[in-house]
Each structure stands twice: as structure tokens, then as C-alpha cells.
Amino acid sequence: MAVEKHSNEIKETMVRLYNGGKGRKVKNLAIEYGIAESTVRYWVIDKPKKENKKKIKESSNSEVEEMKKEIARLKEENDILKKAMTIFAKN
């Protein structure tokens, strides 16, 4: 079974036609352009979903890292305040 390569232009055209104002159906696009329906579905539905999930995961990871840094900073500030309280309590 040979894998057929399609140009980026064809892929972009399919996505544009699918997402366009008329919102053409995957089945009709596949028939019209002679491309497997599963391939067209991947280009216009599955791939954008995967890319979106990847972006969400990446942004979530960066947010988690920022929160970890903020927690570490707050713990350090809290420790400093605790030490200051013990110093002032002795005097």
C-alpha cells in the first residue's frame, strides 16, 4: 500500500473549504478531490484538535512551572518572616 503525499497547498485548501462560510462536508471534499475521506478528516478535524491539545498542554506546563516558582518564592519569604518573628520575640 503506497502512501500518497499531498502538497501543503492541497491540505490548506481542504481546511479552508471545510472551515469556510459554507462549511463543506468531509465526504464531499474527499469525493470532489479524489482523496480518501479519512485523510481529509485528519487534515480538517483530527490534526487541528491534536495541535490545540498540544498547545494547551504546553501552556499548562509553563503555567505550572510559573506557579512552582511562585510557591518557592512565597515559602522563602515565609521562612524569612518566621525568623524575623523569633528575633523580635526575643527582644
Q: What is the pLDDT of residues 19-50, one digit of tens each?
A: 875 777 888 888 888 888 888 888 887 777 77
Under 8 Å between Cβ of 26 and 55: no
User: Cα(82)–Cα(76) distance, rounded to whole angstroms?
Assistant: 10
The full set of domain ranges for the chain reads 8-90
Q: What is the pTM of this model?
A: 0.45
Chain centre to alpha carbon of residue 23: 23
Amino acid 46: pLDDT = 76
Distance of CA 17 to the CA centre of its chain: 23
> 18 exposed, middle or buried (CB, 10 Å; 0-12, 13-18, 19+)?
buried
SS3 state at 23: coil
Residue 54, all three cell numbers: 498540544
